[in-house]
Structure 1
Amino acid sequence: MTSSHKQDVGKHGFEASDLPPFEDGALDVLKYFGFIDISLPLEIEIGSGKGTFLIQQAPQAPEINYLGIEYAKAYWRHAADRMRRHNLPNVRMLHAEAGFFLRNYVADDSVQQFHIYFPDPWPKARHNKRRLVQEGFLREVWSKLKVGGQISLATDHLDYFAWMEEHAAKVTDLFERHEFVSPESAGEGELVGTNFERKYREEGREFNGMILKRIG
């Protein structure tokens, strides 16, 4: 008998292939993903990896519903299985491309906060255009946020952080920039407390973050 177990996403994991045709418009996200209390506000994490932030944060904030989106199927399955085993009622995982899901399924003025922690920096100059955080994306996300909602951003990549600052400066008509505030679940001395952060903090990497708060 092996100590490993067969991963089971249970009621916590969802595939983009199972979503209704996007021509039908926005979903009632909280109902579709089977959240127990649909009166609670929704927060979305883009790029959840193995789900460490959500696993730590969801029990700390039972008054929030969390949806994690992860494009890498192995990570999505691992994260959803962890959520099932922890029996977390207020968190779900979706295997999908985040931009596609946001544009086609998430209603305007419906999300309280987006969490984007340590996104792929695409460090080669010719690949910078693939970076998630840029002006066009921020303008799309603005429409999905409730008034007063926010985007929490963190990265270990100095060039990407400078890029984030540059693109945040292009959307000052939509957002106010604030200093990063660590979530309740972060450990002492941690910015967020993801697996990625803990791994690279030992190498002495510098971590930076910001919050963009919706105005208007």
Structure 2
Amino acid sequence: MTGAAGLFGRAAPLVLEVGFGDGRFLSHLGQTHPEWNLLGAEISLGSVWRAYRRIKRDGVDNVRLYKGNAGFIVRDVIAPGALERIYVNFPDPWPRKKQWKNRLLQPEFFRILHSRLAPGGRLELTTDHPGYFEYALEAAARSGCFKAEEGTPPEAALETKYARKWLDQGKPIFHARFLPDETSSPAVDASTGAAPAVPPDTPARYDAPLIQKTPMQHALLSGRLPAHPSFEKQVHAFSGGHVILLEAFRAIDTQDSLLFKVVTEEPDLRQELLIQAWQREEDAVHVSLQGFGEPLSTPGVREAVRAVTLWLEGQGLAVQDTWI
């Protein structure tokens, strides 16, 4: 089995909750809909841990948790037509105008989601923030492929931590269902079959390609690792994002290895990596990614190896070979 079926060990309707907090609503869904495969996405490690404990305590076995950005999951991981439903309950409103770009529900997100939803699928938003609610309604309209139906939130959504807090304060709660507009058509290049770059306000469905495993780059250089290198933070741009070389360390018990702490930033995906350069022979240095943290094999990770290789070239070493 591959895809979601491989993750859950069965084929079943896939439902996503974005920002599950302490996992109360997600656990409720798991108990009331055992026929669903439930995936939760959350950026807070503390929330992931609290939700994990709740789900284990409740004996729910049809839920999987992901720590990271839901935009990455929807765009790069979930296959077209595979998502039955998506719940967004009380998201961070990012209230200041300069923060609005951080909001998940943007026109482009709706365009991507349109291709990921199964027939009859929908997104349900519940929020206490009127500004965020209006922003989401406008973003859906601008996407050109969703229509919104305002209504009453699911009863279970009003039992969550934040819902109780806002209701106790007498705040109104806003809810809408976003339904695909089936009259829209995919924005795909007929000659290549590829999805073109979509300007932010283009009213078209966006069939974004799924992430593919990227072969990892390795490098072999001639020369010796510098004994006392001077290192400063560096930022390298590439077509899909940025690589940031943060720090370089030498192993305590050897002069034959340098470890580089590196961050890669790709759309909705940030990874922290360790890249190692070690003296393999008297005049040969090998550079490769370390498996610490089990990083995803993306173009950004490959660029991280290349950035370290370039830094070593600046220290007087010469590239003899690179391979993937």
TMscore range, shorter length: 0.7 to 0.9
Identity percentage over the alignment?
33
Amino acid across the alignment from 2:149: H
2: CA distance between counterparts of 1:53 and 1:137?
23
The aligned counterpart of 2:114 is: 142
After TM superposition, the structure 1 stretch with the greater mean CA deviation from structure 2, 156-165 or 57-66, is 57-66
The aligned counterpart of 1:160 is: 132
Shift of 1:154: 1.1
What do residues 104-149 of structure 1 show as CA deviations (whole Å, max 9, x unaligned)?
Answer: 2111110000101111101111111211111111111111111221
Distance 1:196 1:141, change over 3 A: same
- Indicate yes or no: 2:173 matched with 1:207: yes
Distance 1:192 1:213, change over 3 A: farther
- How many residues align structurally? 181
What do residues 150-208 of structure 1 show as CA deviations (whole Å, max 9, x unaligned)?
Answer: 0001110111111112112213x42232233543x52xxxx542111111211111110
User: CA RMSD of the aligned region, Å?
Assistant: 1.7
Matched residue SS, 1:197 = helix
The aligned counterpart of 1:169 is: 141
Amino acid across the alignment from 1:39: A
The aligned counterpart of 1:65 is: 37
Shift of 1:101: 2.2
The aligned counterpart of 1:178 is: 149
Amino acid across the alignment from 1:208: F
The aligned counterpart of 2:252 is: none
Query: Would you say the 8 A contact 1:148–1:215 is kept in 2?
Result: no
2: CA distance between counterparts of 1:181 and 1:204?
16
Which structure has more strand as a fraction of its residues?
Answer: 2
2: CA distance between counterparts of 1:94 and 1:180?
29
2: CA distance between counterparts of 1:80 and 1:210?
28
Match for 2:15 among 29, 36, 43? Answer: 43
5+ residue gaps, structure 1: 1-26
Amino acid across the alignment from 1:67: L
- Indicate yes or no: 2:161 matched with 1:195: yes
Amino acid across the alignment from 2:4: V
Matched residue SS, 1:132 = coil
Query: Would you say the 8 A contact 1:152–1:180 is kept in 2?
Result: no
2: CA distance between counterparts of 1:122 and 1:182?
21
Q: How does 1:58-137 map to 2 (within 5 A)?
A: 58-137=30-109
TM-score by length of 2: 0.53
5+ residue gaps, structure 2: 183-324
Query: Would you say the 8 A contact 2:107–2:142 is kept in 1?
Result: yes
TM-score by length of 1: 0.78
1: CA distance between counterparts of 2:6 and 2:71?
21
Match for 2:6 among 25, 31, 35? Answer: 31
Matched residue SS, 2:159 = coil
Amino acid across the alignment from 2:179: K
* Greater relative contact order structure (CA < 8 Å, 6+ sep): 1
2: CA distance between counterparts of 1:67 and 1:193?
20
1: CA distance between counterparts of 2:168 and 2:69?
31
1: CA distance between counterparts of 2:27 and 2:152?
19
Matched residue SS, 1:92 = strand
Amino acid across the alignment from 1:215: D
Query: Would you say the 8 A contact 2:94–2:102 is kept in 1?
Result: yes
State which structure, 1 or 2, has the greater radius of gyration over its C-alpha atoms. 2
What do residues 68-96 of structure 1 show as CA deviations (whole Å, max 9, x unaligned)?
Answer: 11110110111012111211122121112
2: CA distance between counterparts of 1:80 and 1:30?
21
The aligned counterpart of 2:25 is: 53
